[in-house]
């Protein structure tokens, strides 16, 4: 391999510009470090590139998805399950899909802004039910960073004083939509906790950013930055310090090390020219997304690290998890003949249901939260998803046209998002026979759900059907049986992959220490979802941000002390 | 702008949008298609034969006709939308064209004519057999599957058009300075309150 030694040695090289990398770039430049960020994807600027407020009829595709934009052509996120020239493989029998974003800001351009803190129980699950492992840190260690993130980025919510759903520093939540109140009514009857959602969308101006204007299109990228993306809330101010160099279309190939085993920088492919390049740095922070980071470390082989960098324990790529998920939608007769009004609201639900049950009464461990959807949206491709599933059962002509008007927006649905427990059959490794278009060896996935997950998802299905029945509705699909895994979504499809470089106090069973610093390589850190010891029934982004901030402050402190 | 140019832009649009959403080219193509419809200029389909095109135009208006509130599917540019989608999504072409052929074959068996050439009564009799999946006979299952997806596609095209959005009385996709929740009439209809 030819290196092009650059004169400059950066203080820190960060791989990735999503939540974990963006936060590291922000915090480290604030601390005065010279930072280089390598981003594998393209530039993107919400203020120019967003399709916010575009009408579906402005495109002949009417908002339909494309291969590059699986969540619709107006979606901000460039990426998907399949990326040209970047394959991955699956072991026989494995069902797993790997989402990758390829743009500045990474997946923060895509997600639902559901910003839930992990609670005190979530860090100590093994102590509570004997399964998986405890984290080496506790909620109290992370809480101050959650507070800082809340204040810096902004989040709305309500203080509920629930034991495992910690309060945050909340902006006021938006009032529920009318159909969400119907959901709340049903949830109250069934004794399911239903509270204002907690989304990183500004309901009040914050730190120079405008408040939300309630167009409901966060996923298209907000032109006024009223919601959180790493690009506009972290990378932009980091660039403004003059301390950040952001390199796009730079695909990391390998973390390089010297003979003493210290990281010296990152070798990368400049995708625009196809040439190999190298950036030198005193500290390397890997935040390429959990599985991509595992891949990068596994591919960073050298005489001192024959199994990949920071992999003396052999646990890089192990203990990977995704959130469990299943959805049920239903037709709600009360919602027929809606009163026309604007209920776009924020780009997501205004109410949700945190986990509310005691596992001692259940046949599965851990829990799930429930996301609420439905009501009327801007009509676009896929409008109403099959009128034959509504009471008229089909039809054509004037009656059908009238039926469309009457039944438009008369559905409510629920998505369960639950906690998978890491298991020995779910891991990734380098496929020895397959490389991507730059010759970088790719990941091969192994995936298996256990009965814990299947039983949990069965419970989700039963709960959602009970909620729909309570509202006087009919589920739009029959209950899936055991042969279909009770409707469990395939691994990876909820896009919450975590683990692969987990943290721990024991260097024999973990990759990183409690500061997300590699046990085997002192100046190497991981700040994405990789360090997570376990999932929770919560979306991981807020915890990725908090851990990245915590690690970045630690790096800045150690550098000042000359310890790195 | 000549019609030929409009058609060329439409042909280029999906490629231009392939890597990255390209607002200019897609918007331009869409605007050209709309103008062509507005001017009554004959649109040349790219993915259908002349006979298929005639069938598509007939069928979408049988599904969504003009009524007191709004125009028909052809008024809303649905055939042009379907022509675009068939080119944009490779998985659509065979089921759609095959479904149109199935209809003609069925009409030929029953009436010795194509769907287009059949009488209103005969067309209605055929649609009645395939438009309600639960009531349909098993021997019509291929027609039922086609009609489900063609009806969905027609509804997508119609209700996502400017005309359709107005017809539905959708209000939104706009700036709202202060979110006040839903209006009292909407709450009353569902029997819910903000408890204030």
Q: Please check whether residue A92 lies inside any domain of the structure.
A: yes
pLDDT, greater one: B21 or A471 = A471
Comparing CA positions, the residue from A369, A398, A2, A355 lying closest to residue A162 is: A355
B171 vs A: CB within 8 A: yes
Confidence of residue B196 (pLDDT cuts 50, 70, 90): low
pLDDT number for residue B5: 36
Q: What is the mean pLDDT of chain B?
A: 86
Choose, out of A74, A178, A183, A184, the residue to mutate when testing the contact with B (most B CBs < 10 Å).
Answer: A178
Same domain, A72 and A6: yes
Distance CA A327, CA A323 (A): 13
- ipTM field: 0.92
| Residue B103, CA atoms < 13 Å, CB-side half-sphere | 31
Distance from CA of B109 to the nearest CA of A (A): 23
**Count of A-B CB contacts under 8 Å:** 208
Q: Please check whether residue B195 lies inside any domain of the structure.
A: no
pLDDT number for residue A562: 95
Residues of chain A contacting B63 with CB distance shorter than 8 Å: 396-397, 400
Same domain, B82 and B24: no
Same domain, A428 and A347: no
* Last residue in a domain, options A436, A460, A487: A487
Distance from CA of B85 to the nearest CA of A (A): 7
Is B135's CB within 8 Å of A338's CB? no
Comparing CA positions, the residue from A167, A160, A161, A170 lying closest to residue A201 is: A170
Same domain, A316 and A170: no
Residues of chain B contacting A384 with CB distance shorter than 8 Å: 152, 155, 159
Is B21's CB within 8 Å of A57's CB? no
Same domain, A74 and A35: yes
Distance CA A15, CA A246 (A): 10
pLDDT, greater one: A59 or B20 = A59
Same domain, A361 and A508: no
Number of H helices and E strands in chain B, helices first, is 9, 0
pLDDT number for residue B195: 86
pLDDT number for residue A271: 97
Q: Which of B62, B85, B194 sits opposite A396 (nearest CB)?
A: B62
Comparing CA positions, the residue from A141, A142, A125 lying closest to residue A133 is: A125
Distance CA A479, CA A481 (A): 6
Residues of chain B contacting A342 with CB distance shorter than 8 Å: 171-172, 174, 176
Same domain, B134 and B119: yes
Is A382's CB within 8 Å of B152's CB? yes
pLDDT number for residue B75: 97
Q: Please check whether residue A220 lies inside any domain of the structure.
A: no
pLDDT number for residue B42: 81
DSSP class per residue in A120-162: GGGG-HHHHHS-S---SS-HHHHHHHHHHHHHHH--B-----B
With tokens 């495992």, the residue in question is A164
Q: Please check whether residue A273 lies inside any domain of the structure.
A: yes
Q: Is the pLDDT of residue B73 over 60?
A: yes
Is B179's CB within 8 Å of A212's CB? yes
Quick one: B133 exposed, middle or buried, by C-beta within 10 A (0-12, 13-18, 19+)? middle
**E strand or H helix that includes residue B7:** helix B3-16
Is B172's CB within 8 Å of A342's CB? yes
Q: What is the DSSP letter of A329?
A: E
Q: Please check whether residue A139 lies inside any domain of the structure.
A: no
A81 vs B: CB within 8 A: no
Distance CA A93, CA A91 (A): 6
Task: Give Rg (Cα) of chain A.
Answer: 23
A54 vs B: CB within 8 A: yes
Comparing CA positions, the residue from B74, B88, B78, B7 lying closest to residue B44 is: B7
Nearest CA in chain B to A204: B178
Mean pLDDT of B58-83: 98
A69 vs B: CB within 8 A: yes
Comparing CA positions, the residue from B53, B153, B137 lying closest to residue B100 is: B53
Same domain, A96 and A164: no
Is B33's CB within 8 Å of A60's CB? yes
Q: Is the pLDDT of residue B35 over 70?
A: no
A181 vs B: CB within 8 A: yes
Distance from CA of B49 to the nearest CA of A (A): 20
pLDDT, greater one: A424 or B6 = A424
Q: Specify the number of domains making up chain B.
A: 2
Nearest CA in chain A to B11: A60
B190 vs A: CB within 8 A: yes
CA pseudo-torsion sign A300, A524, A86, B22? negative
Q: What is the reported pTM?
A: 0.93
Q: Please check whether residue B196 lies inside any domain of the structure.
A: no
B111 vs A: CB within 8 A: no
Q: Which of B14, B20, B172 sits opposite A78 (nearest CB)?
A: B20
Same domain, B164 and B144: yes
Distance CA A518, CA A255 (A): 13
Interface of A with B in 445-484 (CB under 8 A): none
Same domain, A291 and A355: no
Is B27's CB within 8 Å of A59's CB? yes
Give the rounded distance of the alpha carbon of A68 from its chain centre.
18
Q: Is the pLDDT of residue B146 over 90?
A: yes
**E strand or H helix that includes residue A429:** strand A427-435
Q: A14 φ, ψ to 5°? A: -105, 130
Q: Specify the number of domains making up chain A.
A: 2
Structure tokens at A322: 């995704």
Is A340's CB within 8 Å of B171's CB? yes
pLDDT, greater one: B38 or A417 = A417
Q: Which of A57, A216, A397 sits opposite B161 (nearest CB)?
A: A57
Residue A411: domain span: 158-196+324-418+450-487
Same domain, A244 and A302: yes
Q: Is the pLDDT of residue B10 over 90?
A: no
Nearest CA in chain A to B195: A181
Is A378's CB within 8 Å of B172's CB? yes
Distance CA B159, CA B161 (A): 5
Is B169's CB within 8 Å of A400's CB? no
Nearest CA in chain B to A44: B20
Same domain, B144 and B76: yes
Same domain, B1 and B55: no
pLDDT number for residue B133: 97
Distance from CA of A225 to the nearest CA of B (A): 14
Q: Please check whether residue A482 lies inside any domain of the structure.
A: yes
Comparing CA positions, the residue from A529, A544, A12 lying closest to residue A266 is: A12
Percent of chain B with pLDDT over 70: 79
pLDDT number for residue B189: 97
Cβ proximity of A406 and A337 under 8 Å: yes
Q: Which of B151, B152, B168 sits opposite A396 (nearest CB)?
A: B151
Task: Give Rg (Cα) of chain B.
Answer: 20
Residue B12: domain span: 1-44
Same domain, B19 and B67: no
Q: Is the pLDDT of residue B24 over 60?
A: no
Same domain, B98 and B72: yes
With tokens 């298609």, the residue in question is B33
What is the rounded end-to-end Cα distance, in angstroms, of chain A?
A: 27
pLDDT number for residue A142: 98
Same domain, A517 and A405: no
Which has the minimum average pLDDT: A208-212, A516-520, B23-27, B28-32?
A: B23-27
pLDDT number for residue B38: 65
Same domain, B68 and B129: yes
Same domain, B15 and B91: no
Same domain, B71 and B165: yes
Cβ proximity of A106 and A115 under 8 Å: no
Q: Please check whether residue B60 lies inside any domain of the structure.
A: yes
Residues of chain A contacting B147 with CB distance shorter than 8 Å: 394
Distance CA A305, CA A314 (A): 11
Q: Please check whether residue A378 lies inside any domain of the structure.
A: yes
Q: Please check whether residue A564 lies inside any domain of the structure.
A: yes
Q: Which of A185, A340, A346 sits opposite B169 (nearest CB)?
A: A340
Q: What is the DSSP letter of A60?
A: T
Distance from CA of B92 to the nearest CA of A (A): 13
Distance CA A169, CA A155 (A): 7
Same domain, B72 and B51: yes
pLDDT number for residue B30: 62
* Last residue in a domain, options A439, A461, A487: A487
Quick one: B111 exposed, middle or buried, by C-beta within 10 A (0-12, 13-18, 19+)? middle
Q: Please check whether residue A521 lies inside any domain of the structure.
A: yes
pLDDT, greater one: A68 or B107 = B107
∠ CA(A229), CA(A230), CA(A236), 5° rounding?
110
Same domain, A306 and A344: no
Distance CA B181, CA B123 (A): 47
CATH number, position A438: 3.50.50.60
Same domain, B30 and B76: no
Quick one: B175 exposed, middle or buried, by C-beta within 10 A (0-12, 13-18, 19+)? exposed
Distance CA B79, CA A36 (A): 51
Distance from CA of B144 to the nearest CA of A (A): 10
Choose, out of A83, A401, A404, A410, the residue to mutate when testing the contact with B (most B CBs < 10 Å).
Answer: A401
Distance CA A445, CA A434 (A): 13
Is A397's CB within 8 Å of B63's CB? yes
Distance from CA of B112 to the nearest CA of A (A): 24
Structure tokens at B65: 């006709």
Q: What is the pLDDT along chain A (564 residues), one digit of tens a residue?
A: 445 555 799 999 999 999 999 999 999 999 999 999 999 999 999 989 999 999 999 999 999 998 888 899 999 999 999 999 999 999 999 999 999 999 999 999 988 999 999 999 999 999 999 999 999 999 999 999 999 999 999 999 999 999 999 999 999 999 999 999 999 999 999 999 999 999 999 999 999 999 999 999 999 999 999 999 999 999 999 999 999 999 999 999 999 999 999 999 999 999 999 999 999 999 999 999 999 999 999 999 999 999 999 999 999 999 999 999 999 999 999 999 999 999 999 999 999 999 999 999 999 999 999 999 999 999 999 999 899 999 999 999 999 999 999 999 999 999 999 999 999 999 999 999 999 999 999 999 999 999 999 999 999 999 999 999 999 999 999 999 999 999 999 999 999 999 999 999 999 999 999 999 999 999 999 999 999 999 999 999 999 999 999 999 999 999 999 999
Distance CA B147, CA B130 (A): 7
Full strand arrangement of the beta sheet holding A195-196: A195-196, A351-353, A368-374, A411-418, A324-331, A474-475
Same domain, A70 and A190: no
């Amino acid at each position: 391999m030819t290196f092009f030694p650059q004169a400059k040695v950066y203080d820190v090289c960060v791989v990735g510009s999503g939540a974990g990398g963006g936060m590291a770039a922000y915090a480290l430049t604030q601390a005065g470090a010279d930072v280089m960020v390598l981003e594998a994807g393209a530039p993107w600027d919400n203020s120019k590139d967003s399709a916010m407020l575009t009408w579906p009829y402005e495109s002949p595709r009417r908002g339909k998805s494309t291969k590059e934009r699986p969540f619709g052509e107006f979606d901000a996120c460039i990426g998907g399950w399949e990326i040209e020239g970047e394959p991955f493989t699956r072991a026989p029998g494995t069902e797993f899909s790997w989402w990758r974003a390829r743009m500045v800001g990474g997946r923060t351009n895509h997600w639902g802004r559901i910003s839930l803190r992990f609670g005190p129980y979530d860090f100590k699950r093994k102590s509570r039910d004997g399964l998986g492992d405890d984290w080496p840190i506790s909620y109290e260690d992370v809480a101050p960073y959650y507070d800082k993130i809340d204040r810096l980025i902004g989040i709305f919510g309500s203080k509920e004083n629930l034991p495992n759903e910690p309060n945050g520093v909340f902006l006021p939540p938006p009032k529920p939509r009318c159909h969400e109140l119907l959901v709340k009514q049903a949830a109250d009857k069934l004794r399911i906790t239903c509270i204002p959602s907690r989304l990183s969308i500004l309901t009040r101006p914050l730190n120079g950013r405008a408040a939300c204007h309630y167009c409901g299109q966060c996923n298209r990228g907000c032109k006024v930055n009223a919601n959180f993306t790493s690009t506009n809330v972290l990378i932009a101010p980091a660039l403004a310090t003059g301390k950040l160099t952001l390199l796009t279309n730079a695909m990391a190939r390998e973390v390089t090390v010297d003979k003493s085993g210290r990281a010296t920088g990152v070798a990368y492919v400049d995708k625009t020219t196809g040439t190999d390049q190298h950036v030198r740095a005193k500290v390397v922070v890997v935040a390429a997304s959990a599985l991509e980071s595992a891949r990068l470390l596994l591919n960073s082989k050298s005489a001192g690290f024959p199994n990949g960098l920071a992999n003396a324990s052999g646990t890089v790529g192990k203990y990977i998890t995704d959130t469990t998920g299943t959805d049920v939608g239903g037709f709600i007769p009360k919602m027929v003949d809606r009163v026309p009004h604007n209920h776009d609201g924020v780009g997501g639900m205004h109410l949700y249901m945190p986990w509310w049950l005691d596992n001692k009464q259940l046949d599965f461990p851990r829990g799930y939260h429930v996301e609420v959807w439905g009501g009327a949206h801007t009509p676009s491709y896929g409008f109403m998803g099959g009128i034959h599933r509504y009471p008229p059962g089909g039809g054509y002509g004037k009656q059908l046209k009238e039926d469309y008007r009457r039944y438009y927006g008369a559905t409510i649905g629920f998505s369960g998002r639950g906690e998978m427990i890491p298991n020995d059959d779910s891991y990734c490794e380098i496929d020895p026979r397959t490389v991507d278009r730059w010759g970088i060896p790719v990941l091969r996935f192994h995936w298996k759900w256990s009965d814990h997950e299947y039983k949990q998802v069965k419970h989700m299905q039963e709960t959602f059907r009970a909620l729909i029945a309570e509202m006087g509705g009919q589920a739009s699909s029959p209950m899936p049986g055991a042969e279909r895994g009770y409707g469990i979504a395939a691994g990876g499809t909820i896009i919450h992959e975590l683990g692969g470089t987990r943290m721990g106090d024991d260097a024999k069973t973990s990759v990183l220490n409690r500061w997300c610093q590699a046990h085997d390589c002192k100046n190497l850190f991981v700040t994405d979802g990789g360090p997570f010891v376990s999932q929770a029934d919560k979306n991981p982004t807020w915890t990725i941000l908090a851990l990245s901030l915590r690690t970045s402050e630690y790096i800045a402190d150690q550098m000042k002390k000359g310890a790195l | 702008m000549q019609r030929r140019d409009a058609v060329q832009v439409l042909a280029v649009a999906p490629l231009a949008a392939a890597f990255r959403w390209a607002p200019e080219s897609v918007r331009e193509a869409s605007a050209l298609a709309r103008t062509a419809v507005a001017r009554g200029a004959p649109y040349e389909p790219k993915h259908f034969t002349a006979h298929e095109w005639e069938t598509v135009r007939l069928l979408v208006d049988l599904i969504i006709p003009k009524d007191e509130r709004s125009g028909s599917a052809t008024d809303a540019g649905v055939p042009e939308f379907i022509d675009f989608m068939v080119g944009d999504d490779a998985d659509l072409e065979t089921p759609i064209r095959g479904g149109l052929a199935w209809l003609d074959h069925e009409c030929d068996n029953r009436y010795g004519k194509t769907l287009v050439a059949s009488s209103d009564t005969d067309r209605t009799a055929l649609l009645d057999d395939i438009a309600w999946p639960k009531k349909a006979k098993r021997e019509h299952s291929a027609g039922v599957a086609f009609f489900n997806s063609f009806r969905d596609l027609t509804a997508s095209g119609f209700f996502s058009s400017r005309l359709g959005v107005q017809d539905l009385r959708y209000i939104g996709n706009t700036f709202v300075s202060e979110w006040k929740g839903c209006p009292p009439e909407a709450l009353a209809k569902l029997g819910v309150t903000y408890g204030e």
